[in-house]
Amino acid sequence: MKSTSLFATLLLLTATALHAEEKLVVYNWAEYIPEAALEEFEKETGIKVEYSTYENNEVMYSKLKLQKGVGYDIVVPSSYLVAKMSREGLLQELDKTKLTNLKNLSADLLDKPYDPGNLYSIPYLWGSTGIGVNGKEIDSSTITSWADLWDEKWKGKLLLTDDVREVFHMALKKNGFSTNSTNPDEIKIAYEDLQKLMPNVLVFNADAPREPFLAGDVNLGMIWSGEVKMAQQENPDIEYIFPKEGAGFWVDSFVIPAGASNADNAHKFIDYMLRPEVGQQVVEELGYSTPNIAVKELLDEDTSSNPVIFPSAADVAKGEFQNDIGDAMKLYDGYWEKLKTGK
């Protein structure tokens, strides 16, 4: 009886220990998953979420590259990096039999060139990078294009996102080139144009670009669509402009790094985030577009018809989605370093 009792006790302790060790390590952009959604996932599953953030894609990529895909269970890269990371063996293939809510996603954002068949990634949110304006301080009707930011009257007054692809997007589109250009001559022209813009730049921000607007530090600059939606909750004078040359569009996706220790929990989390009611919470709080077609019918009219969240077909057509640019990224990175250091 004693040995049976002891065995039962050991089983209980082992089960308790295993349950206590259930966790999920998420590496993501700041303020990119509602806190309530994380708490509900933990409550429902008993899986503890450890959450850390990065400022931009390049920081995230460098860290995962250094660690060979070890240390995190969920990461949320932009589309162009999905192709690069999968090609370099930093991601593991997804088990779609564990993703029962995959049916909720729009086919328009699946099976893209950066991940044919969505072997490695599941789209989470999509949005745009355009121009933010404090309409109380600046007549927003006078700001219609990326080229307007080069005006000398904005010397020392602009905010730019701290993202090489997005900043180069401005200059490439301004000069009539593709945001995905791999042409060295075009990239050089964009770089030289950005050199002329640098005196106008007050700050680079990729953590929460809305904050300098809300603090009154800047009234004009690059910003993500969702950041404007969040900013308007505190200051409705913050406006979003789709530049006439075209905004930059992107898709951020859930991926599981190759060295993830908790891949099963990662699949549970992705499937949880694909639920319509969770997607509704994400859109309403963060202000970005969702690939989840089951969400839109849950949104109120003001949200579902908001052109900042759900841009018109014309605005999408004028812009471009980021794609993988292969080895040309080294050229961008070299020019980016020169821009940031003033060399």
Helix (H/G/I), strand (E/B), else coil: 280: helix
CA-based nearest residue to 25, from 54, 60, 5, 49: 49
**Predicted confidence (pLDDT) per residue in 63-98, tens digit:** 999 998 899 999 999 999 999 999 999 999 999 999
CA-based nearest residue to 201, from 148, 138, 150, 272: 150
Q: Do domains 2-125+251-309 and 127-249+315-341 have the same CATH topology?
A: yes
| Topology (CATH level 3) of domain 127-249+315-341 | D-Maltodextrin-Binding Protein; domain 2 (3.40.190)
Which CATH number does 2-125+251-309 carry? 3.40.190.10
Which pLDDT band holds residue 214 (cuts at 50, 70, 90)? very high
Contacts of 148 (CB under 8 A, 6+ apart): 131, 142
User: Does 31 belong to an annotated binding site?
Assistant: yes
Q: Model pTM?
A: 0.87
User: Does 166 belong to an annotated binding site?
Assistant: yes
User: Does 163 belong to an annotated binding site?
Assistant: yes
Instruction: List the chain domain ranges.
Output: 2-125+251-309, 127-249+315-341
Question: CA-to-CA distance for 224 and 247, rounded, in angstroms?
Answer: 10
**How far, in Å, are 65, 74, 82, 213, 226 from residue 88 at the CA level?**
9, 17, 10, 38, 31
Question: CA-to-CA distance for 42 and 44, rounded, in angstroms?
Answer: 6
pLDDT(8) > 60: no
User: Does 322 belong to an annotated binding site?
Assistant: yes
User: Does 203 belong to an annotated binding site?
Assistant: no
Buried b vs exposed e over 53-77: b needs ≥16 C-beta within 10 Å?
Answer: ebbbbbebbeebeeeebebbbbbbb
**Predicted confidence (pLDDT) per residue in 303-335, tens digit:** 999 999 999 999 999 999 999 999 999 999 999
